[in-house]
Amino acid sequence: MPDTATPQDFTRLLAEYDLALARMQRSHDQLLGKVAELQGELQRKNDLLAHQSRMAMLGEIAAGVAHEIRNPLGGIRLYLDLLEREVKAQGSPTIGKIRGVVARLDRVVRDVLTHSRELHADCQPQALMNVVMEAVGLASLELTGSDVALAVDCAEGTAALDHDLVVRLLLNLVLNAAQAIQQRDDGREGGRVMVRSGRDANGSYFAVEDDGPGIPAEQMQRLFTPFFSKKEGGTGLGLALCRRIAEAHRGELRAANRPEGGARFELRLP
Ligand SMILES: Nc1ncnc2c1ncn2[C@@H]1O[C@H](COP(=O)(O)OP(=O)(O)O)[C@@H](O)[C@H]1O
Ligand SMILES: [Mg+2]
């Protein structure tokens, strides 16, 4: 190694220094980019966390309100029984209507409460027909006086399921179907809801079909999200709850439009 630097050495050194500087500038820019990216991610995570804690708080408030509403509702039912006896009006249409409204409120309250706790399915062998008939019976109570006809096509057979939960799921689906039919604005009066059940190679299924307006494509993905509702006075909890009931059975709940028009919801049990 010479002990005196030549001008060439100096030029080479300068070039190397320039290169190193350029490399440092590049990694500095990359770092800045990375920092900006991480800051963005942090912001998104913070927003999500804030949103989740807001939702959790809302859930708690909703559950509290639902609890408060539950007792007076029981009271109203009791007073209706008394009223019916007092006016000796067995099967009075007005009292029947009030009962229908009370039943609806009761369901909203139950849906909110069920949403705020863990859902466990207590599965026992059940006749498919019993489950379907109970749901259809409850639905027809609420559809008295409407021009929606209910039909059943149910095969014999049993499946392991939680009777009450699946009845609730079907009731939700049938009432949604009836409401969709009633909201139709093509001038047609009334419609039909078909409840099917059976077994095939893949397990058992329950399906609810209607001849309503069907589901708009842009809603398909969001139907099952809690609080998604296109209905005046809807809670948007029905389908979210139905999906949780399906999952508690390790089953699946899917929505589709029928080629002949209207919607079809299918619950598949393993
Ligand atoms: N059978 C159906 N036909 C068309 N749209 C439906 C049907 N069932 C549900 N939907 C749509 O899904 C939305 C969410 O339903 P749901 O979760 O039960 O809440 P809600 O009934 O309180 O609106 C409804 O508001 C409606 O827009
Ligand atoms: Mg509903």
- Structure-block tokens of residue 138: 């409850």
197 lines ligand 1 (CB under 6 A): no
pLDDT digit string, tens, across residues 222-261: 999 888 999 877 888 899 999 999 999 999 999 999 999 9
Of 100, 101, 258, 93, the residue nearest 180 (C-alpha): 258
Task: Tell me which residue has its CA closest to atom 24 in ligand 1.
Answer: 229
As a whole-number percent, the residues of the chain with pLDDT over 90 amount to 62
The CATH number, out of the four listed (3.90.1530.10, 1.10.3720.10, 1.20.120.1200, 1.10.287.130), of the domain defined by the range 1-117:
1.10.287.130
The domain spans of the chain are 1-117, 124-269
Q: What is the average pLDDT value for the chain, to the nearest integer?
A: 90
223 lines ligand 1 (CB under 6 A): yes
Look at residue 60 in the predicted model and tell me its pLDDT. Answer: 82
Give me the amino acid identity at 186: D
Ligand 1 probe mutation, 150, 229, 264, most atoms within 8 A of CB:
229
- Distance of alpha carbon 24 from alpha carbon 10, whole angstroms: 21
212 lines ligand 1 (CB under 6 A): yes
3-state secondary structure 194-206: EEEEEEECCEEEE
Residue 211 has pLDDT above 90, yes or no: yes
Burial-class residue 209 by CB neighbours within 10 Å (0-12, 13-18, 19+).
buried
> H-helix or E-strand containing 112?
helix 93-115
Residue pointed to by tokens 């007076």: 72
Distances (CA, A) of 253 to 63, 160, 207, 267: 25, 16, 9, 4
Beta bridge partners of 158: 127
Look at residue 55 in the predicted model and tell me its pLDDT. Answer: 76
Query: What top-level class would CATH report for the domain 124-269?
Result: alpha beta
Residue 144 has pLDDT above 90, yes or no: no
Q: Which three-class secondary structure state does DSSP give residue 264?
A: strand
Look at residue 104 in the predicted model and tell me its pLDDT. Answer: 81
67 lines ligand 1 (CB under 6 A): no
* Residues 173, 208 contacting (CB under 8 angstroms): yes
Look at residue 2 in the predicted model and tell me its pLDDT. Answer: 58
Span 174-196, average pLDDT: 89
Tell me which long-range contacts 20-26 makes (C-beta under 8 A, separation of at least 24): none
Confidence of residue 108 (pLDDT cuts 50, 70, 90): confident
Residue 103 has pLDDT above 80, yes or no: yes
Residue 194 has pLDDT above 90, yes or no: yes
Of 169, 161, 114, the residue nearest 139 (C-alpha): 169
- Distance of alpha carbon 183 from alpha carbon 148, whole angstroms: 12
230 lines ligand 1 (CB under 6 A): yes
* Residues 129, 156 contacting (CB under 8 angstroms): yes
Confidence of residue 204 (pLDDT cuts 50, 70, 90): very high
Task: Tell me which residue has its CA closest to atom 2 in ligand 1.
Answer: 177
Look at residue 1 in the predicted model and tell me its pLDDT. Answer: 54
pLDDT digit string, tens, across residues 26-67: 999 999 999 999 999 999 999 999 988 887 787 788 888 888
- Distance of alpha carbon 103 from alpha carbon 97, whole angstroms: 10
Centroid of ligand 2 to alpha carbon of 122 (angstroms):
24
In sequence order, what are the residues at sequence separation of 6 or more whose Cβ sits closer than 8 angstroms to the Cβ of residue 249? 121, 123, 161, 162, 165, 166, 269, 270
